[in-house]
Structure 1
Amino acid sequence: MHRGRQPEKNDVADAEAIVEAAQRPTMRFVEPKTKEQQSRAIVFRTREQFVNQRTELVNALRAHLYEFGYVAPQGIGHLPRLAEIVEDESADLPDLVRDVCSALLDQIDQLSSRLAALKKTMDTLSKQAATSRRLQTMPGVGPI
């Protein structure tokens, strides 16, 4: 065996490591997550993914309009201004750009609707769990 090189990984080596770890008195084991816990985690991860996708779409829309001289501040709160520019027939935008930007706006609307539905689900879940209700009594802690 060369210096600094790790031994081969295989089932026998894995089994030996598991037996050795199980025999240690200080070894702590993690309880597997329940299906309910896994389901909640999926809801939270999906929401986070949708938020990231929506942010990407808004940034793409801003970038496309910026190429034609239309500047808008960052943030989802300024989306109505971007929509006004796209829908304004007097805006100096080629039809192709207007069509692409409209498609982006439609996609953003769909994601926003899905995010609202997920928020309702998360609110319901947080009201059902005793731990969540207790944590939400702390200042600055919202739905968990």
Structure 2
Amino acid sequence: MRPQSLFRTSAALLVGATLLCSSSAIATPDQARAYLENAAYDELPDYVFSGRPLTGSIAGGQYTHRTVRLRAGVEYIFMAACDDYCTDVDLYLYDRYGQTLLDSDSDTDDYPIISFTPSNTGNYRLSIQMYTCSNSTCGYAIGTLTR
């Protein structure tokens, strides 16, 4: 390899490494999951998680949707949490088509809770909105709990 090509390659690698190691924060769904689990154990001691929390990261003002399967007559609690870079996250529960809002928690907080007992077994649409995020994306976790 010629010295000039080697210099260009080294410079490109250095710029790439600098961008990867920049001081911008990274969304942390694992941190949000830890916050969720601690809050659930403190606030809802009579409930247990039914499966692992759903996790991910989204930008401020954005929504993401998950499908959850619920059994008729079972009381469910949906609780969400976010990482250190958000202060407000909201939860919405819809019918399986995402058209009829069944319940929501859009208070200005970072631990929204919805309680719902379906009359029909089936799929439902759970939506989370990262209302306030001080980073390019923020991590979230959503837990489904039952008694």
TM over 0.5: no
TM-score w.r.t. the length of structure 1 is 0.28
Larger fraction in strand: 2
TM-score w.r.t. the length of structure 2 is 0.28
